[in-house]
Chain A
Amino acid sequence: MNSIGEECTELKKKYDDCFNSWFSERFLKGDHDDSVCAGIFKIYQECVKKAMKQQNIDFKDIDKDVLGTENEFKVPPTEGSS
């Protein structure tokens, strides 16, 4: 899969590979230390942020959290229940 910045796609692939093996070999097995991919993530992030700035994408909306907050949409009650 491509990155939003063409020049970041190689870094993204490297990071994704690192993350996927961490996720399966460590995280799902109970090891929560995520430092192993931190270095490559930082480089990849810098590339993405630069690419987004060039495309005039507003970071504010992206940084807003919804999941797990009171802004998260709630499933309406099923019909018949009060």
Chain B
Amino acid sequence: MARYFENTTVFNYSWDQVALGYWRRYPNPQSTHVLSEDTWTRYVKDGCLYTKRLLTKTNRVPKWGERFFNAKSVKIIEESFVDPEKKVLITYTRNLGYTKVMSVVERVEYRPSGASQTVALRSAWVDSQVFGFSRAIRAFGVDRFRKNASQMVNGFNYVLSNMFPRQVPQHTVTHTLKEMREAAAAATDRAKANVLSSVNRT
């Protein structure tokens, strides 16, 4: 039974911008593990764009996993579908080869959220059929997937901010909170200085 995992990401860019940026995601500072990217097939049918791309990525496995999975790189097939009228972009990726050892399938659906935001719903299935190790491999796969997914979002945001620089840069909640705290601390310091200077003047 495959382990299932999902999450949602909000991009502070319009759906059109995200769709444009999608094809230019690589390279970015977070994508050093992506070695190559090629378009395999592409066609328009009933107003929708269908694309299949082949990616190769470095294979990062822990020491214990090398006996199952010693390839230096893995090949990934990415199928995608763009409906420009309904504003839907769906991507579906799977690894090619080694699927008995570990199969990772990821489906991401990008839809507009208002005029200036895009929501990405990511679903992932991680499976392994290695006798006696499947549970450990699945757990490793889910963990690696989570880490890669957040890197993917950071990398994508980096590309989008370069493509659409007039956009207000994306701030995560933690950043905003930190800035608010710093601003509050600075205001307190200024207030203290004002009080001190007024005290000193009298």
Interface residues, chain A, CB within 8 Å of chain B?
1-4, 8, 12, 15-16, 19-20, 23-24, 27-28, 30, 32, 34, 41, 44, 48, 57, 61-62, 65-68, 72-73, 75-76
Known A23-B20, A41-B39: A1·B79 in contact at CB below 8 Å: no
Decide: A67 near B23, CB < 8 A? Known: A62-B54, A73-B125. Answer: no
Provide a sorted-by-A list of 24 A–B residue pairs whose CB atoms are within 8 angstroms: A4-B36, A12-B39, A19-B23, A20-B24, A23-B20, A23-B23, A23-B49, A24-B20, A27-B49, A28-B19, A28-B20, A30-B85, A34-B42, A41-B39, A41-B42, A44-B39, A48-B38, A62-B40, A66-B79, A67-B80, A67-B92, A72-B107, A73-B105, A75-B107
Assess the B94–A66 pair: CB atoms within 8 A: yes
> Residues of B at under 8 Å CB distance from A?
2, 4, 6, 16, 19-20, 23-24, 26-27, 34-40, 42-44, 47, 49, 52, 54, 56, 75, 77, 79-82, 84-85, 90, 92, 94, 96-97, 105, 107, 123, 125
Separation of A65 and B94 alpha carbons in the complex (Å) = 11
Residue of B nearest to A3 (CB): B38
Q: Which residues of chain B have C-beta atoms less than 8 A from A28's C-beta?
A: 16, 19-20, 84
Q: How far is the CA of A65 from the CA of B39 in the complex (A)?
A: 14
Contact A67 B24 (CB under 8 A): no
Tell me the smallest distance from the CB of B162 to a CB of chain A, in Å. 14
Residues from chain A with a CB closer than 8 A to the CB of B6 are 75
Where chain B touches its partner, the secondary structure class is: strand
Contact A4 B84, beta carbon cutoff 8 Å: no
Q: How far is the CB of A20 from chain B (nearest CB, A)?
A: 6
B161 to chain A, nearest CB (A): 17
A76 contacts B4, CB within 8 Å? yes
**Distance to closest chain A CB from B123 (angstroms):** 5
Minimum CB distance partner of A30 in chain B: B84
Q: What B residues does A44 contact at CB under 8 A? A: 39
Nearest residue, chain A, Cβ from B78? A67
Contacts of A66 in B (CB 8 A): 79, 92, 94
Q: A28-B20, A76-B4 are in contact. Are A67 and B81 (CB under 8 A)?
A: yes
